[in-house]
Homo-oligomer: A and B are copies of this chain.
């Protein structure tokens, strides 16, 4: 019981099944968890068990994706009515795409705004993983902050999951800042990535605590995909680009604070910074990944700000056993601070995110397959791309034996439009779109990024669109999606 330092809360301890009995059908639930880290390991699982037997469906709002197959279990048990703001689970994805679960895909900085503005009903219960409850009745989060601070503030009741595999020494890694209410909100005073502007714990109202549940389960590890020829090529183009920016005097060899999306490309790019003349780098990102800690250990990265630590099992042990070493080098913030539009612009963040596909004018699809089926969600890509100093999107030029081109006449779904995209990179090459009008962008994207097999077809479409229709953004609307249609009908985009 030593993890509960506050007096008067110990009697709230119960097991997960008992805590799960507190939920009723139709409730709106906020839960900790961001990119599989710091999520509920026991209570939501127990709720899924209940939902498998009873008619109980909730609206579930998290930080971002959950680990532990929790989303899959809840979806399979028909326990989800609505889900937001992000997910990355194949089973839940299926339930969303067949219309069984309603999914609201949100900019990660915005979920607490929507709650705060009462656009989403008040949270009935918040379930928050914590390392401990302090003497003054605050909670210390674990490996993510996500939306937990605002959830704790706004929920009617709180269930706290104390995870004893996370050492108490994690205290001090978090920086909790909650913006004031309208119309008296002040600016978020984060002017450098390593600014600490809030408290190290989340203040709660003890009388809202409905249950405390003990767990001892590690976060689901990140899937580390080893680099391959394509990710190496993408990383290579980008590192060359950054070196050229430094040579041109637009950046120093400390660059500006870097944000990197999840996945193998991001890891490959970050690893690329270990070579070369880069020094004293900083990150202002969402997720701190293996590569973040590798760069810190290599002496290249001075400081990293994020909202979660999502790493492989090996790296997890390294971090958790050396928290005193990393404490001065990292900070975990609420996602409305890590992703705050104003802070991202103020710091001049270099944003590197992965696209599902992009088009010849530089519009990016991050979320939908074939214009209809969601993959994961927009996540923080919009918060960063819109406000970044440099907004970079990467993807492979073609996939599945080159039957799918990821460079297209028109994207089947627009998450980021040409205004928000500066640099596009595929394994084929890099398109620098800065200062270019749409017709100029098309030429560079087709020449530099398209897979050779599709290059002529793209150029042909562009030429005919210019000749037959013209305009600021020439298109043949009746043909714009023909590549996607062909893929659906014939299993290949090849004409």
A-to-B contact residues, CB < 8 Å: 82, 96-99, 102-107, 110, 113-114, 117-121, 179, 182-183, 185-189, 191-192, 250, 254, 256-257, 340-343, 345-348, 363, 367-368, 370-374, 378, 382, 386-387, 389-390, 412-415, 417, 419, 422, 434-437, 439-440, 465-466, 469-475, 477-478, 480-481, 484-485, 488
Kindly state the separation between the CA atoms of A191 and B292 in the bound complex, as whole angstroms: 35
Query: B485 and A477: CB pair below 8 A?
Result: yes
Q: Provide 29 A-B residue pairs closer than 8 Å at the C-beta atoms, listed in order of the A residue.
A: A99-B466, A102-B440, A103-B437, A104-B436, A104-B437, A106-B419, A113-B345, A114-B434, A114-B435, A119-B422, A120-B434, A182-B347, A185-B347, A186-B191, A188-B342, A341-B387, A363-B414, A368-B473, A370-B469, A372-B473, A374-B471, A378-B419, A413-B473, A414-B417, A415-B417, A477-B481, A478-B481, A478-B485, A480-B481
**B-chain residues with CB within 8 Å of residue A465 when the two chains form the complex:** 372
Per assembly, the copies of the chain total 2
**B-chain residues with CB within 8 Å of residue A343 when the two chains form the complex:** 342
**B-chain residues with CB within 8 Å of residue A417 when the two chains form the complex:** 414-415
A253 to chain B, nearest CB (A): 13
For A115, the closest partner residue in chain B by CB is B435
For A485, the closest partner residue in chain B by CB is B478
Query: B117 and A186: CB pair below 8 A?
Result: no
The 6 closest A-B pairs by CB, nearest first: A342-B342, A372-B471, A374-B472, A414-B414, A119-B434, A102-B437
Kindly state the separation between the CA atoms of A228 and B225 in the bound complex, as whole angstroms: 61
Q: Which of B183, B191, B368, B475 contacts A372 (CB 8 A)?
A: B475
**B-chain residues with CB within 8 Å of residue A192 when the two chains form the complex:** 183
Query: A368 and B472: CB pair below 8 A?
Result: yes
**B-chain residues with CB within 8 Å of residue A472 when the two chains form the complex:** 96-97, 103, 105, 367-368, 372-374
Query: B363 and A182: CB pair below 8 A?
Result: no
With contacts A114-B434, A119-B422, A346-B342 taken as known, whether A477 is within 8 angstroms of B484 at the C-beta atoms is: yes
For A469, the closest partner residue in chain B by CB is B372
Kindly state the separation between the CA atoms of A474 and B439 in the bound complex, as whole angstroms: 30
Query: B105 and A346: CB pair below 8 A?
Result: no
Kindly state the separation between the CA atoms of A436 and B121 in the bound complex, as whole angstroms: 12
Query: B469 and A120: CB pair below 8 A?
Result: no
Kindly state the separation between the CA atoms of A121 and B436 in the bound complex, as whole angstroms: 12
A249 to chain B, nearest CB (A): 8
With contacts A419-B378, A470-B372, A471-B374 taken as known, whether A186 is within 8 angstroms of B346 at the C-beta atoms is: yes
**B-chain residues with CB within 8 Å of residue A250 when the two chains form the complex:** 117-118
**B-chain residues with CB within 8 Å of residue A114 when the two chains form the complex:** 434-435
Query: A386 and B341: CB pair below 8 A?
Result: yes
Query: B105 and A412: CB pair below 8 A?
Result: no
Q: Which of B345, B436, B466 contacts A341 (CB 8 A)?
A: B345
**B-chain residues with CB within 8 Å of residue A469 when the two chains form the complex:** 370, 372
A221 to chain B, nearest CB (A): 28
Query: B119 and A435: CB pair below 8 A?
Result: yes
A235 to chain B, nearest CB (A): 23
A258 to chain B, nearest CB (A): 12
**B-chain residues with CB within 8 Å of residue A97 when the two chains form the complex:** 470-472
Q: Which of B120, B348, B373, B484 contacts A471 (CB 8 A)?
A: B373
Kindly state the separation between the CA atoms of A431 and B457 in the bound complex, as whole angstroms: 41
A378 to chain B, nearest CB (A): 6
Kindly state the separation between the CA atoms of A435 and B111 in the bound complex, as whole angstroms: 10
Query: B183 and A347: CB pair below 8 A?
Result: yes
Query: B475 and A346: CB pair below 8 A?
Result: no
For A109, the closest partner residue in chain B by CB is B345
Kindly state the separation between the CA atoms of A485 and B478 in the bound complex, as whole angstroms: 6
Kindly state the separation between the CA atoms of A228 and B435 in the bound complex, as whole angstroms: 41
**B-chain residues with CB within 8 Å of residue A436 when the two chains form the complex:** 104
Query: A182 and B389: CB pair below 8 A?
Result: yes
For A484, the closest partner residue in chain B by CB is B477
Interface centre among A97, A110, A465, A473, by most B CB within 10 Å?
A473
Kindly state the separation between the CA atoms of A378 and B254 in the bound complex, as whole angstroms: 34
**B-chain residues with CB within 8 Å of residue A434 when the two chains form the complex:** 114, 119-120
List 20 other contacts, CB 8 Å, given A99-B470, A341-B387, A477-B484. Answer: A96-B472, A99-B466, A105-B419, A117-B390, A121-B435, A183-B254, A183-B257, A187-B189, A340-B342, A341-B345, A342-B345, A363-B414, A371-B477, A372-B474, A373-B472, A382-B386, A414-B417, A477-B488, A478-B485, A480-B481
